[in-house]
Amino acid sequence: MSIAHKDILNLDVISKFVNEGFGGLPEEYRPVFTTLLEFVKGIDLHQKALDKVITCSREADVMPALAIHLFSQLVPRHAVEVDDTSKIGEHCPCGCLRKIPRGLTSLGSFDTWHGHADIIVNQKVPIIFIEKRKQEEIMKMGGQNPDSDEEDTDSNSVCVETEVDRNYDMDNEGPSKKKQKTNDEGRDMATFYGTLQDYNVIGKIIAQTVTNSFIQVNFNKDLSSLMIPAIGCTDQEFCIYLYNPEEDILLHSMRDEKFWLIKSKLDLDAVIILWLFLNFTTFVKPKLVEEFYFEQSGIHQSLGSHIELYKKCKYKENFTNGATVDYEHFIYPRLPTLVRKIKRKSTIY
């Protein structure tokens, strides 16, 4: 089952900007549009910097380069933080001498799943970056069998059921619009799987998507009606996941978006999609459940009473100090062991 970007996003504000310019925008929206225009104006500098790092630098340098020359350029105040535990230098590896904005990017709590996002954008959207080396390892592994009973003890990874039922009843499962159905019945999602659609990578992205969504709503109840995004990426492409912790709805992109149109030339369509979701508080429609019928992800049911622990999760907890978790005797179910059961039937395209 598929739902289009246009059904998730408030595109009326973009139409208003196209027709009326900044004068047609509410004051609080103007910085968001300014950032995109400024990025497009200076895009040649940024895409050359990224191409240089991807082509000539070590793998670990790509992530901070993306933070500086792409993600930070698409949000007001260039508000990004790069995981301060990552082994990177002090300045952008492209040679521009910009200081890497490092910070504590931890998500979760000692009583729940917890880990560090590679990048946090605007203190709201986690970015999970997969290096080429890890991509190659994943492709050699072929992904972990989602039906396996083998337990993953790494708090930063998870096995996920990604089976999509091609013959399920449209009237009983998946999102259907009350006024107009948007569906893609019979499509085999496995056709679109790549590195970012591998079981091991999906698990890490979903864990951070769900945990961060609880954190954002815990911090700001005004976000409780929104689908809250997280982004997985390589140096070539990205995917989008969204979760609403109040309604237990999980969405994911049908296919990966390519950063590059050709070598050293960014795809502006992909950049705009990224910009829309990085600024989700401006563009994602609230209360989608009032417009669509969604199947719940099952995370609430699996967590049971322990969902209260996720409702206390915080951003920027220091997991390097204090008590450590003995997972062999840990009584609370960790998110990585729960999302194994989730079927990703709600997709966006």
84-118 pLDDT, tens digit per residue, is: 989 899 999 999 999 999 999 998 887 777 788 99
The pLDDT assigned to 65 comes to 97
Could you give the C-alpha distances from 187 to 167, 168, 240, in angstroms and in order? 10, 11, 19
For residue 342, the model assigns a pLDDT of 52
Question: First and final CA of the chain: distance in angstroms?
Answer: 10
Q: What is the pLDDT, as a whole number, of residue 333? A: 47
pLDDT higher than 70, residue 200? yes
To the question of pTM greater than 0.85 for the whole model, the response is: no
Residue 214 scores a pLDDT above 50: yes
pLDDT of residue 349: 65
Per-residue pLDDT at 164: 29
Classify residue 273 by burial, with Cβ atoms within 10 Å: 0-12, 13-18, 19+: middle
What residue spans define the domains of the chain?
A: 2-320+331-348
Per residue in 151-184, pLDDT tens? 333 333 222 332 223 222 323 333 334 433 333 3
Interval 253-279: pLDDT, tens: 888 999 999 888 999 999 999 999 999
HEC string of 127-165 equals EEECCHHHHHHHHHHCCCCCCCCCCCCCCCCCCCCCCCC
Hey, how many other C-beta atoms are within 10 angstroms of the C-beta on 141? 11
- How sure is the predictor about 9, in pLDDT bands with cuts at 50, 70 and 90? very high
